[in-house]
Amino acid sequence: MIRFNNKLLRVNNKLAGEIVIPPAPSVPSDMDFIYFANDFDGSKIPNSAPNSTFGDYLQSGTLIKNGSGSSCYLSKSGSNDYLYKDLTTTELDNIKALNNTYTFFIRMMQDTSYGVGGIMSCRSNGGYIYMIRCNNQQIQIHTSGGNDCGSNFSLATDRVYKVVINDSSFQAFNLDTSATYSLSYTGGRQMGTRMTTFSAGYSGEYNLDKFYAFAGIPRATTTEEDESIKTALMNQSI
């Protein structure tokens, strides 16, 4: 405030030419996990989700950390190298999503135009229905058979995809283009307790090339939350 002709006037106290950038929106406080490749310490990726007891993503075999910051990614040395998290009964029930919604956010890439690899697989310890895979550079939601999400879900492009599971409803969302893919599956959830990335649980199914970031939350999310989670995964920071 300044005084002019005995009147108090309100003035903008920004410096001339100053650009004020608003803070990025925070991620939801009830996320199960947020894993950033840049946080890999040689044995695990610490869980960056606030208030979570879900735990870290552990290394099996040998994974390679490439670069740093937002562009950092993990790659594998061979077919027996992967990330894993052993799920509790409650965590697995949430991810099965038979009586609830579970939402995954995926920033990963498959450079080669062939082959299958694990994005979110629970096959290696008791079953797989369902799992999320890479297949021929596309996101695939695998139930009793493979269901490629199509060219709008290319893993040749570095971006964040959203996959939502709710009972018989399976949906994928391209958060850059608003493209969607959906399918319906009615059946059991014979899923094992070990969640893996890179390996999909079978011999030869390890053809995911780059892990940047991965997040999950045991409910549906809003458009605003999607944007905040996407920003966090692309920046590899909260």
Q: Quick one: tokens of 27?
A: 């991620």
Between CA 212 and CA 76 the distance in angstroms is: 13
pLDDT-wise least confident of 4-18, 112-126, 167-181: 4-18
Is the pLDDT confidence value at 18 over 80? no
Are 210 and 10 in contact by the 8 Å Cβ rule? The answer is: no
* 3-class state of residue 13 by DSSP: coil
Average pLDDT, the chain: 91
| Percentage with pLDDT > 90 across the chain | 82
- Tens-digit pLDDT profile for residues 108-133: 999 988 899 999 999 977 788 999 99
What φ, ψ does residue 104 adopt, rounded to 5°?
A: -110, 145
Q: Name the nearest CA neighbour of 196 among 106, 141, 146, 132.
A: 132
Cα–Cα dist 238/105, whole Å: 15
- 6-20, 42-56, 81-95, 157-171: which has the minimum mean pLDDT? 6-20
Burial 189-216 (b: 16+ CB within 10 A, else e): bebbbbbbbbbbbeeebbbbbbbbbbbb
pLDDT mean over 15-42 = 82
Residue 127 has what pLDDT? 81
Higher pLDDT, 232 or 114: 232
Q: pLDDT (tens digit, 9 = 90+) per residue, 21-34?
A: 556 569 999 999 99
What are the two backbone dihedrals, phi and then psi, of residue 234, each rounded to the nearest 5 degrees? -70, -35
Span 231-235, mean pLDDT? 98
Q: Say what the pLDDT of residue 11 is.
A: 45
Q: What is the pLDDT of residue 15?
A: 52
Q: Tell whether the model's pLDDT for residue 210 goes beyond 80.
A: yes
Which residue in 133, 164, 158 sits closest to 148, CA to CA?
A: 133
In the chain, the domains with their CATH numbers are 30-235 (2.60.120.200)
What is the pLDDT, as a whole number, of residue 174?
98
**pLDDT value for 2:** 47
Question: Which pLDDT score, from 0 to 100, does residue 126 have?
Answer: 73
Instruction: Check: pTM over 0.75? Answer yes or no.
Output: yes
Q: Quick one: pLDDT band at residue 20, thresholds 50, 70, 90?
A: low
Q: What is the pLDDT of residue 144?
A: 87
